[in-house]
Amino acid sequence: MKHLRPALSLFLLFTLITGLIYPLAVTGLAQVLFPWQANGSLLAVDGRPVGSALIGQSFTSPGEFWGRPSATSPYPDNAQASSGSNLGPTNPALIDAVKARIAALKAADPDNHAPIPVDLVTASGSGLDPQISLAAAYYQAPRVARARQLPLADVKALIEKTAHRPWLHLFGTPRVNVVELNLALNALGAKHID
């Protein structure tokens, strides 16, 4: 019984310190030092939130760059239910899903016979991956250019401008953020109309 008092009072003390004071202190400092990041890196167009720089969105029209396939339910890129497909490598359901994605890409761009980059037909781990590889972006560039009636060179230049490359061969992969790329594309298109 003599152990009960330290057990209960220390439990209370640790709960207060690590469960309340610690997260509240981190929140306070984070909101002062890094408010944009702490609140979700939200992107706004004309003051209206259109998404997060870190959360993927689903694109299916030919004039947009498509992102990683998403296995969230009940619809892709559901940002309150992150999930991968968890399909095993030999599961026929995985092969069927990949075939369907290939078919959709081919239907939107029948003349493109280049090999399809793997990240464009495989579901991401979170279901919310905002990025695709540069290979996947260049693969889609002709389709996007045609649908938007833009010169291919302009679209490629935009990819290059938005691209992230590995830093010192160490941090990251060659990639581009699909939401940011499509936003930049909209801005470019708007300029053309002017």
Partner 1 sequence: MTTDFFVLLAVFLAALLATVRPLGRYFAWIMEGRPAWKPIAAIEARLLRLCGVDDSEMDWRHYALTLLIFSLIGTLVVYALQRLQVWLPLNPQHFGAVSPDSSFNTAISFVTNTNWQGYAGESTMSYLTQMLGLAVQNFLSAASGIAVAFVLIRAFARHSTQLLGNFWKDMYRITMYALLPISFVLALALVSQGVIQNFSAYQNVTTLEPNSYATPKLDGTGQPIKGTDGQVITETVVVPQQKIAMGPVASQEAIKELGTNGGGFFNANSAHPYENPNALTNFLEMLAVLLIPAALVYTFGYAVGDTRQGWALLAAMVLVFAVAVIFLAAAEHHGNPAMNALGVDQAHTALQSGGNMEGKETRFGIAASVLFDAVTTATSCGAVNSMIDSYTPLGGMVPMALIQLGETIFGGVGSGLTGMLVFALVAVFIGGLMVGRTPEYVGKKVEAFDMKMVSIAVLLMPILVLVGTAFSAVLAAGLAGLANPGAHGFSEMLYSLSSAANNNGSAFAGLSANTPFYNVLLGVAMLLGRFAVIVPILALAGSLAAKRRVPQGGGTMPTHGLLFISLLIGTLLLVGALNFFPAWALGPIVEHLSPLVSH
Q: Which two tokens stand for residue 46?
A: 């004309």
**Does residue 171 bind partner 1 (CB under 8 A)?**
yes
**Does residue 157 bind partner 1 (CB under 8 A)?**
no
Of 169, 94, 168, 106, the C-alpha closest to 139 is 106
**What is the C-alpha to C-alpha distance for residues 116 and 96, in angstroms, rounded to an integer?**
16
User: Taking CB under 8 A as the criterion, which residues in 82-121 touch partner 1?
Assistant: 82-92, 94-95, 98-99, 102, 115-119, 121
> CB of 40: closest distance to partner 1 in angstroms?
5
Residues 164, 194 contacting (CB under 8 angstroms):
no
Please name the residues in contact with 138: beta carbons below 8 A apart, sequence gap of 6 or more.
Answer: 156, 159
Residue (7 or 193) nearer to partner 1, CB: 7
> CB of 141: closest distance to partner 1 in angstroms?
12
**What is the C-alpha to C-alpha distance for residues 113 and 105, in angstroms, rounded to an integer?**
11
One of 47, 169, 190, 194 touching partner 1 (CB under 8 A)? 169
**Does residue 4 bind partner 1 (CB under 8 A)?**
yes
User: Taking CB under 8 A as the criterion, which residues in 9-48 touch partner 1?
Assistant: 9-11, 13-15, 17-20, 22-23, 25-27, 29-31, 33-34, 37-42, 48
Per rule CB under 8 A, count of chain residues that contact partner 1: 107
**What is the C-alpha to C-alpha distance for residues 176 and 159, in angstroms, rounded to an integer?**
7
Beta pairing partners, 93: none
